[in-house]
Structure 1
Amino acid sequence: MISLYHPGRTPLHRLPAGAKLLGLFALGIALFLTRDALLLGAAALAALALLLSLRVPAGLLLRQLGMTLLLLAFLVAANAWLVAPEEGLVVGLRLLTLVTAATAVTYATRPGALIAAFQGALSPFGSRGRRLAFHLGLALALVLRFIPEVLYRIRELREAMAARGIAGRPLRLVVPLAVRLLRSADEVGLALEARGYPAAEAPPPNKTKKDSP
């Protein structure tokens, strides 16, 4: 599986995956409970400092977050024009903080650890909790799988256009990118169906293969 995980020994790397997810959840609630631009700006700077502390190469960050930043800029401009400039600023700072913090957690945590923490949080709710955790964990795994897939497809399309002397402008990438992603999603869906997903029951935790011949 392609992953955004970047190995390291920073404090964020050493934190348990469950604590990181809980922190993101608390941050998301706190961000949407305040409209103070100074507090939101301070939170955005703190999230950026956290991301930079992971020492991910700047070029890699720009390549992988470029489209996300463009989307954020569009959302800020739309809110500023349709509602008010202050609303655009608040929305932009909230989303920038949350996206930056989530990116830092994604870079500092292995996908398997995130999924295990997510499933562990729901497992105390019995068989229904395990079933829900299994399906939501699968959904989370697919999301984590497709984030780098989108970035890879964008880079692939830009390189193909550059080889043909065509400027790889964002609007020119929309249609071929959508076609390739839909094709990838269809392939993943067929692979899951061939393996019996969605299952009626979640597999029991800590299942081993010792019964295999």
Structure 2
Amino acid sequence: MAGDAEQKITVRPHGPYLVRGKIPLVRKSQVMSEHGEPLDWNLDGVVETAETYRLCRCGRSKTKPFCDNTHTLVPFDGGEKADTGPISSREKVFEGEKIIVKDDHSLCMHAGYCGNRFTNIWKMLEDSADPEVRAKIIAMVGMCPSGTLTHAPDEKSEVVEPDLPKEVAVVADGPLWVTGGILVERRDGEPLEAR
């Protein structure tokens, strides 16, 4: 496997994501409760790739998740519209006992791990003095695929990041999920803030 320094994803101007450094590509799906609530993630398989590969960004490739150059044949505005300012300027901090949860809602993909039919993370913070409740909050935050939610013991502490593998996951009806702190470079060459 290539060294970490070579592993990166580059956003091509009005084109695909260029993935370099033999970054694994996997398929994942949500494990759901009998009530339709997400509980966990299931690894559905590894997708075979070359050391460098291109992932569709226009949404119209016939070989998804890979790019087949359809973006050159159809109207596609590959402009990047996401806020590139620091995450800290967008996130709200919610305090509990021995835990804070940071929420950057602009990243939310509505995967649903932050709540269930009885409660949600924000309500659970009221009871976070209970170590069991706090552990559930941490587990729920850890399942959030978008990076919308993070947690720390207090406001002075660093955010606790889950130890996730360096990979790109294809999620049904969702965006690509990049984990492991892989460098993602915008089309202007600037790095996106890793989550």
Shorter-chain TM-score range: under 0.3
Give the TM-score of the pair, scaled to structure 2: 0.23
Select the structure that is richer in strand.
Answer: 2
Bigger Rg over Cα: 1
Select the structure that is richer in helix.
Answer: 1
